[in-house]
Structure 1
Amino acid sequence: MEETILLRNEDVERVLIGVPTGHEHLRIVIEAKGKRIVLQEATVANIVRGFIAVKTHPKVGAVELRKVKVERGKKGFAALQLLETGREEKEVVKNIDSILQA
């Protein structure tokens, strides 16, 4: 069984967002529960894309993103992306429910 970590606003002490020296892309550092989580720009961009789709689309209520290697993608984009699987919404919600109930 995989460990599930629920990160709430009250758990987060600080968030840093910026481009580190010598890098080209953003990093997001989340300090919470005595740990640091560092997210790369591509990861956050993919999650935000899915979040916006669910939050703003009149018919989309849930999406699943999975790691996919993109051949000949847009310049500057990571070769590995989190892309929509097309999995049925009710199956995604059922999966979320089972994770939260564990």
Structure 2
Amino acid sequence: MKVRIIRNEDVKFLAAFIPLGHKHVRVLINLGNEILIFQQAFIDALIRAYTSVALHPYRKCQALTLRKLSSKERKEGFAEYQLIEVDIDEDKVLHSLTKLYSKAVSNVKVYK
């Protein structure tokens, strides 16, 4: 599996927008050689995971996994497929992710 680190200097343009005729926010990231567009459900999950680590006094890792939710399980207007927080062995997952990150950093390619 290819692992790619996106650095701030790799992003040529970023925009959050609601497409005409739609209700949900999208986020576009232009990397120069490719454009990524993220749906609101993904961005919401990313923000939940990020804030649960960044703003927590001791948590260092939060994992989410894909779940298909029935209409009874989710709030009105929420997507059927959601990234949901899962219980993890934080130390084990953190060590595994750190190892992956360290390997990726040592192989960083500069995209232009």
Q: TM-score, length-normalised on structure 2?
A: 0.84
Give per-residue Cα distances to partners, 1:24-66, cap 9 Å, x unaligned. Answer: 1111010014110110011000110010000111121101111
CA distance in 2, matches of 1:84, 1:98: 22
Residue matched to 2:31: 32
Residue matched to 2:78: 77
Aligned: 1:5 with 2:4: yes
CA distance in 1, matches of 2:93, 2:37: 26
Q: Which runs of 4+ in 1 moved over 4 A?
A: none
Matches of residues 34-73 of structure 1 in structure 2 within 5 Å?
A: 34-71=33-70, 72=72, 73=74
Give per-residue Cα distances to partners, 1:57-98, cap 9 Å, x unaligned. Answer: 112110111101122210011111111111111122122123
Larger RCO of the pair (alpha carbons < 8 Å, separation 6+): 2
1:83 is paired with a residue whose SS is strand
Larger Rg computed on CA atoms: 2
Q: TM-score, length-normalised on structure 1?
A: 0.91
CA distance in 2, matches of 1:91, 1:98: 11
2:93 is paired with a residue whose SS is helix
Aligned residues: 101
Pairwise CA RMSD: 1.2
CA distance in 1, matches of 2:88, 2:13: 34
- The structure in which a higher percent of residues are strand is 1
CA distance in 2, matches of 1:40, 1:25: 8
Letter in 2 for 1:39: F
Gaps of 5+ in 2: 105-112
CA distance in 1, matches of 2:34, 2:56: 34
